[in-house]
Structure 1
Amino acid sequence: MINNKVLSIILGGGQGSRLYPLTHDRSKPAVPIAGKYRLVDIPISNCINSDIKRMFVLTQFNSASLNRHIKNTYHFSFFSSAFVDVLAAEQTPDNKGWFQGTADAVRQSMHHFLSHDFEYALILSGDQLYQMDFNHMVKEHIKNNAEISIATIPVNAKDATSFGILKTNENDQITSFIEKPAADLLPEWTSDTGEQMKSEGRDYLASMGIYIFNRKLLVELMNNPDTIDFGKEIIPQSIDTNRVFSYQYEGYWTDIGNIDSFFEANLGLTDDIPKFDLYDKSKRIYTRARMLPTTKVAGSVLNKTVVAEGCLIGAATIERSVIGIRSRIGKESTVINTYMMGCDYYETLEEIENYKIKILMGIGERCFIKNTIIDKNCRIGDDVRINGGEHLEDTETDTYVIKDGIVVIKKDAIIPNGFVI
């Protein structure tokens, strides 16, 4: 079987500064998404659905919650070779530094990979939202006698300046590559992406940051310590010397690079037919199995809203929002265009009484919350008004951040009664 010849390497990314404050005390792959999952569940689930079950996740920043999530989630049979292992940056006699880039992360971890038998390394990003059967890409890689394959997606001119853009010949072999081209260079970089894609104005082939490397070539490339990044160095340098091919993907894919894209990807799940389909049995997304009660709703109008399990909802109205696990929303509150991540635990009546807790976890009564991300375990008092939007300037306080009009309530923040943003 082809799958047995593939080892998956999931890159956890750097400090995740563009997703701050969600990455203040957790790594990017551990950021909660869709009310009950973590970002890292996406590439891991894609691998499991493709029957690729040997996976390493590379990370170096705030990896404790990621470690805990993976340890509590991905258990395989004792009689299986399947595993998901987290490799954090480690100092060794040969290397005393942190990961300097994507390729450097793989280089520093190579001794772990080489202890396994594999022919192809599937290198994935830990911060993308998509559903792909990697078997198709591996088969194309073998059919093309490729040494490197790059998953590509057709994009329009507006998006092309944010990606690595490449050109191919009639056999899909990559002939040239440019990283984030300026708009005036774009006319030279159009590709034949197919009739459907061209009709949508998607004339450029963008790298998705998903690669397949032959083991032998990967070992050779990792011997050069001067190359630290796949997209900026290794891929462009390999095009003239190796057989590098494009694998064109046309399904839904988005890079969760910043707060705005993260916010839109989550709210997109509330569409009548969401582009990211959580209801497809063949593309199931796996996460930690929690023994939570059903959600209870009383007197609420819910419109285009996704509600996870274990919630207690008494809101007046919730519209185009994602409500995460164990969320509590008080009476007469209105929640619009909001991603509420939920809570890690319930507070008992005894705890509330004994510790004289004035503001409970969740959203209080008579609140108005719009265009907001509420991180885990937040306490929002009664009569709070948070009206996010472009009229707000970017700012940061101890309890919240405003970025591009989106208000992000920090994890564990306490917002007092009557507070207004």
Structure 2
Amino acid sequence: MTQVLTIILGGGKGTRLYPLTKNRAKPAVPFGAKYRLVDIPISNSINAGFKKIYVLTQFNSASLHLHLANTYIFDSFTRGFVEILAAEQTFDHASWYEGTADAVRKNIHHFKTQKPSHYLILSGDQLYRMNMADFFEKHVQSNADITIAATPVDREAAEGFGIMKADKKGRVTSFLEKPELGLDINEMKIPESIHPDEEMKRFGREYLGSMGIYFFKAEALEEALESNFTDFGKEIIPQMIKNKRVQAYIETGFWEDIGTIKNFYETNLNLASINPKFNFYDERMPIYTHKRDLPASKFNYCSISQTLTGDGCVITNASIQNSVIGIRTFIESGSSLDGVVCMGADWYETPADRMENKEKRIPDIGIGRGTLVKRAIIDKNARIGEGCRIGVDSITREDGDHGMYYMQDGIIIIPKNAVIPPGTVI
């Protein structure tokens, strides 16, 4: 009987997304005004009917656990689940996950109890919508031990990918991890007979870049993990190419790794553009998230363009463009936001809370009157006082930790629960 078990790799410390990962696991980082990063791979799996899902993580998993418990609740007829497996000490091993393959190996005893025929392995920090049912069908038809999802990339982009060479039937014959630009890899170009997109070819996207998404036969994965290899891309896959049938599944739809601050920021803002690269508005393959039953957002005398807003916001007499505004965000009169990813808040402050804020001389949660913000990420529950100027003045800003804020790739990051006093200039 065919039984697919999905494993989502939640990553390690998430240092490339710090400080957004300071208090939460990477898959729990808010995204797109109302989602979390982990919603993307989970939704792709569920839409294909693969509803037995494990999420592997080892850092700051509390908020992730809460999100999953409140969101992915299957009825008794579905026989599905979404569960976290955090790194744990046992009599067999006391160390943390040392790589993608090591994380799966250390949990294989949990997976075997589900008696899967196949494993689907996904990453927790990518944005895409893939027909996993078609992916699985092609995997079964080819009788491959492992099928690797691949996206066509050009030579410059190939430097950041594992590049695969495939024959005319799509069988992978060699694998090269992140080839430097000076290296000649012309022999690894996609054969004409299997390249699926003429426009991509015209733009030089002629190499197969591994997306870090795999279908394994159960016995093939379990056998491959009877080794000391710790990483799929660098070790497991090159080894399997030598003695197993490895197939490529070429995916031409939008796909983006959002594991860095720059990619996270730019990908968020692209969602608010007139013609975004990723379409959240596809009812056939929805992206699921926690249903909060929040009220509709309210805008009082505002100028808003190319902006996404989550539920439950109250925005008054503000100018907002090219931005993403998360749930429960309060923006007061006279404020201006340009190129801002604001994650919103976890709760509404009551009148009593606001009175207490005045007594403590701290701003309310949200963005105060007359505050100007440009090219910034504002994490959840931040309190930004009135009359602040963030990112709008021509001053030198060096990357690093600056106390009440961070700089990364020229982007200002206001961390979760930060308090920015009135009149602050950043």
Q: TM-score range by the shorter chain?
A: over 0.9
In 2, Cα distance between the equivalents of 1:256 and 1:130? 10
Equivalence for 2:414: 409
CA contact (8 A) 1:367 1:383 kept: yes
In structure 1, runs of 5+ residues without a counterpart are: none
2:204 pairs with 1:201: yes
- One of 204, 217, 220 as aligned partner of 1:217: 220
1:306 aligned partner: 308
Q: Quick one: which amino acid aligns to residue 276 of structure 1?
A: F
1:261-410 matched pairs, under 5 angstroms: 261-355=263-357, 356-357=359-360, 358-387=362-391, 392-410=397-415
CA contact (8 A) 1:393 1:402 kept: yes
Could you tell me how far apart the structure 2 residues matched to 1:218 and 1:395 are?
Answer: 41
Instruction: Note the alpha carbon deviations across 1:295-314, whole angstroms, 9 max, x for none.
Output: 11111100101111100101
Q: Deviations over 1:303-348 (max 9, x none)?
A: 1011111001014310010000000111111100110000000110
C-alpha deviation, 1:156, in angstroms:
1.6
Shift of 1:31: 0.3
- Structure 1 counterpart of 2:189, one-letter code: T
For 2:212 and 2:356, how far apart are their aligned partners in 1?
51
1:20 to 11, 18, 21: 18
Name which of structure 1's ranges 9-18 and 311-320 shifts more when overlaid on structure 2: 311-320
Residue 72 in 1 paired to residue 74 in 2? Answer: no
TM-score (norm: length of structure 2) = 0.96
Superposition RMSD on alpha carbons, in Å?
1.4
Measured against aligned partners, the alpha-carbon deviations of 1:363-382 in whole angstroms (never above 9, x if no partner) come to 11111101000000000001
Q: 1:84 — aligned with what?
A: 82
Q: Once the two structures are superposed, what CA deviation does each residue of 1:44-66 show, in whole Å capped at 9, x if it has no partner?
A: 01111111110000000000100
Q: Per the alignment, in what secondary structure is the counterpart of residue 150 of structure 1? A: strand
- The question of 1:249 aligning with 2:251 is answered yes
Identity of aligned residues (%): 48
Match of 1:366, as an amino acid? G
- Alignment partner, residue 190 of structure 1: 189
Cα shift readout 1:80-101 (whole Å, capped 9, x = no counterpart): 2110010000101001111100
State the secondary structure of the residue aligned to 1:238: helix
**In the alignment, what sits opposite 2:33?**
35
User: Which residue identity is paired with 1:361?
Assistant: I
Structure 1 distance, partners of 2:109, 2:402, is: 43
Report if aligned partners of 1:101, 1:228 keep a CA contact under 8 Å in 2.
yes
Unaligned 5+ segments in structure 2 are: none
Counterparts of 1:195 and 1:79, CA distance in 2: 44
Q: Following TM superposition, by how much is the alpha carbon of 1:391 offset from its aligned partner in structure 2, in angstroms?
A: 5.6
Q: CA deviation at 1:132?
A: 0.7
Q: What TM-score, normalized to structure 1?
A: 0.97
Which stretches of structure 1, 4 residues or longer, exceed 4 Å deviation after superposition? 388-391
What is aligned with 1:162?
Answer: 160
Q: Are 1:390 and 1:405, in contact at CA under 8 Å, matched by a contact in 2?
A: no
For 2:146, the equivalent position in structure 1 comes to 148
Contact 1:157 1:186 in 2 (8 A): no
Q: Are the equivalent residues in 1 in contact too, given 2:224–2:240 (CA < 8 A)?
A: no
Counterpart of 1:196, as a letter, is E
Conserved in 2, the CA contact under 8 Å of 1:301 and 1:316?
yes
SS in 2 for 1:185: coil
Range with bigger deviation, 282-291 or 348-357 = 348-357
User: For structure 1, which segment, 314-323 or 355-364, has the greater mean C-alpha deviation from structure 2 after superposition?
Assistant: 355-364
In structure 2, how many angstroms separate the alpha carbons of the residues matched to 1:94 and 1:53?
A: 29
SS across alignment from 2:41: helix
What is the letter of the counterpart of residue 87 of structure 1?
L
Counterparts of 1:315 and 1:242 in 2: how far apart (Å)? 63
Once the two structures are superposed, residues 229-284 of structure 1 have per-residue CA deviations (whole angstroms, 9 ceiling, x without a partner) of 00110011111111001000000000012000000110011111211111110121
Quote the Cα distance in structure 2 between the aligned partners of 1:55 and 1:218: 17
1:60 equivalent in alignment to 2:58: yes
CA distance in 2 between counterparts of 1:186 and 1:36 reads 44
C-alpha separation between the residues in 2 aligned to 1:117 and 1:176? Answer: 31
Distance 1:80 1:285 in 2: 19
Aligned residues of 2:318 and 2:331 also touching (Cα < 8 A): no
Report the 3-state secondary structure (helix = DSSP H, G, I; strand = E; otherwise coil) of the residue aligned with 1:240: helix
